[in-house]
Amino acid sequence: MSYVLGVDLGTSAVKVSAVDREGNIVAQQSFDYDLSHPKPGYSEQNPEDWVSATTVSIVRLILKDGLKPEEIEGISFSGQMHGLVLLDDKNQVLRPAILWNDTRTTPQTKEIAEKMGQEFINVTRNVALEGFTLPKILWVKENEPEIFSQAKTFVLPKDYVRYRMTGQLAMEYSDAAGTVALDVANKTWSKEVQEAFDLDASFFPELIESIDLAGNISDSYALFSGLTTATKVFGGAADNAAGAIGSGILQPNMVMSSIGTSGVVLKYEDNSNVDYNGRLHFFNHAIPNKFYSMGVTLAAGHSLNWYKHTFAANDDFTEMVSSAAESTVGANGLIFTPYIVGERTPYADGDIRGSFLGVDDTHKKSDFVRSILEGIIFSFKDIFDIYDEVGADFDTVVSIGGGAKSPLWLQIQADIFNKKVVSLKNEQGPGMGAAMIAAVGLGWFDTVQDAAASFISFGKEYLPDPARAAQYETVHNIYKKAYAATAEISHELMNYRRSL
């Protein structure tokens, strides 16, 4: 037998999946690690914890699940995006990694916008948000100059783990795009960004493709992990790019709708010609010379979980979700905006907060649940509207994440999007995408598309009902007014809370 390992390096844990040539997951191991929040808004992790957790998972696959090291032909990665790992001239880590969900960098995002304006968006194809890597680099440069003066280069989380496995330092394009220091269309580090922020070209690491061989397992890592030096290690991808591959989002007619803790709407882009002018993220895909665009709803499943913990702690989760069927399209006139931790797309506003609008003394719990399911999908529909504005054409929405477990929620998606929605038969997410990258890198398949044809099967299709779709269009048009109508109130309430 021969296997590949897909390493899904997440924010709270790493999950390593062993996959055979037919795409079957033969074993899985995971290991948690801590997040540290040394100050409000700070979010850091120790890169050594990623290496240890990944290694423990691999050792367990070998010792507990009986995988033979010589049968593990290749390894690749899906990585949490944007986290800054600063390295000195001996590739030693200089400070804890500053993660994607760390928001200390608001002044640096403003500095970037003021200094480069539209040119920044034209080159990097993104607006510099707090979570992205360049603002983090500038934060260290301005706030920890003694550390920055020792920094020779930087990498992203999964690139660091790959370096420790192989001894070879590199960054791959799909993650490099999330630094917002890359000229995305031309696939080179941006000279404009380097000059504007006085960053040396040598600070930026070598770039490779996701399916490129980064190196073999080194002697020292073989000793540490029990793997053999024959195992090949491939570039891997940003978690969203790997998730898109693992869900088969490989053609321009397909969009992914992911309802996890946060929500993501992601579209495969065949070339870099389409211009969202920074309203959506636009990154390089894990497939050479392809791209993807995406928008994020910060609190998707999180909104539902918040409601349950706060108002329905003793209810069964699945029954609570199913109770939404007792309500109506438009939740009997109740609208929920899911901005309970701020929002990213289409409103990049950390201080906006959620609302229930139209609360009536006849509303029942089932109406509240329904309004939450609908509000999350209205927020996704706002992202779809950006696609409509540029004339993007697609007919299939692949629904993934915990939210895709609910048939009612899948149908609500079909009706609100007014598109066909499909789920996956055996959804494995980004870890499967990582395994597919290794399988293509090894030559088991010629292309990622070929790997997908063998590894991925779609499940049930949900078609929009024309009458419900028309009703939802009416309610969504009302929902769209809620952001502007509640922004000032939200901001004032946030200021009040800060004053307490």
Ligand X SMILES: O=C(CO)[C@@H](O)[C@H](O)COP(=O)(O)O
Binding residue positions for substrate:
81-82
Does residue 475 belong to the site contacting ligand X (CB under 6 A)?
Answer: no
Among 3, 33, 100, 221, binds ligand X (CB under 6 A): 100
Does residue 81 belong to the site contacting ligand X (CB under 6 A)?
Answer: yes
Scanning the structure block, which residue is given the tokens 């636009």? 282
Tokens of 459: 């499940």
Closest CA to 399 of 376, 371, 366, 368: 376
Among 10, 47, 401, 464, binds ligand X (CB under 6 A): 10
The answer to whether 451 touches 17, Cβ cutoff 8 Å, is no
Q: Is residue 239 annotated as part of the catalytic site, yes or no? A: yes
What amino acid occupies position 372? I
Closest CA to 131 of 3, 283, 334, 15: 283
Among 17, 57, 216, 240, binds ligand X (CB under 6 A): 240
Report the length, in residues, of the chain: 500
Complex with ligand X: residue 74 or 401, whichever CB lies closer: 401
Does residue 406 belong to the site contacting ligand ADP (CB under 6 A)?
Answer: yes
Does residue 61 belong to the site contacting ligand ADP (CB under 6 A)?
Answer: no
Does residue 285 belong to the site contacting ligand X (CB under 6 A)?
Answer: no
Does residue 318 belong to the site contacting ligand ADP (CB under 6 A)?
Answer: yes
Give the interface segment with ligand X, choosing from 45-53, 74-82, 315-323, 431-439 (CB under 6 A).
74-82
Query: Please, what sign has the CA dihedral across residues 479, 483, 484, 488?
Result: positive
Q: How far apart (Å, rounded) are the C-alpha atoms in residues 204 and 139?
A: 17
Among 5, 72, 82, 179, binds ligand X (CB under 6 A): 82
Residue 77 interface partner, choices ligand X, ligand ADP, none, CB cut-off 5-8 Å depending on type = none
Does residue 301 belong to the site contacting ligand ADP (CB under 6 A)?
Answer: yes
What amino acid occupies position 307? Y
Complex with ligand X: residue 240 or 399, whichever CB lies closer: 240
Among 23, 47, 96, 131, binds ligand X (CB under 6 A): 131
Closest CA to 377 of 464, 449, 270: 464
Q: Which residues contact 306 (CB under 8 A, 6 or more apart)?
A: 299, 340
Closest CA to 236 of 464, 434, 482: 434
Does residue 105 belong to the site contacting ligand X (CB under 6 A)?
Answer: no
Positions at the binding site: 81-82
Q: How far is CA 1 from the centre of its chain?
A: 32
Q: How far apart (Å, rounded) are the C-alpha atoms in residues 428 and 31?
A: 17
Q: For the purposes of burial, counting CB atoms within 10 Å of the CB of 40, is it exposed (0-12), middle (13-18) or buried (19 or more)?
A: exposed
Cβ 186 to ligand ADP, closest distance in Å? 33
Cβ 124 to ligand X, closest distance in Å? 14
Residue 118 interface partner, choices ligand ADP, ligand X, none, CB cut-off 5-8 Å depending on type = none
Q: Which of residues 237-276 bind ligand ADP (CB under 6 A)?
A: 259-261
Among 29, 80, 179, 345, binds ligand X (CB under 6 A): 80
Cβ 258 to ligand ADP, closest distance in Å? 7
Residue 405 interface partner, choices ligand X, ligand ADP, none, CB cut-off 5-8 Å depending on type = ligand ADP
Backbone angles phi, psi at 424, to 5 degrees: -100, 150
Among 272, 305, 332, 411, binds ligand ADP (CB under 6 A): 305
Among 304, 412, 435, 452, binds ligand ADP (CB under 6 A): 304
Does residue 427 belong to the site contacting ligand X (CB under 6 A)?
Answer: no
Catalytic residue from among 175, 239, 367, 382? 239
Footprint of ligand ADP (CB under 6 A): 259-261, 301-302, 304-305, 317-318, 321, 401-403, 405-406, 409
What are the residue numbers of the active site? 239
Footprint of ligand X (CB under 6 A): 10-11, 80-82, 100, 131, 239-240
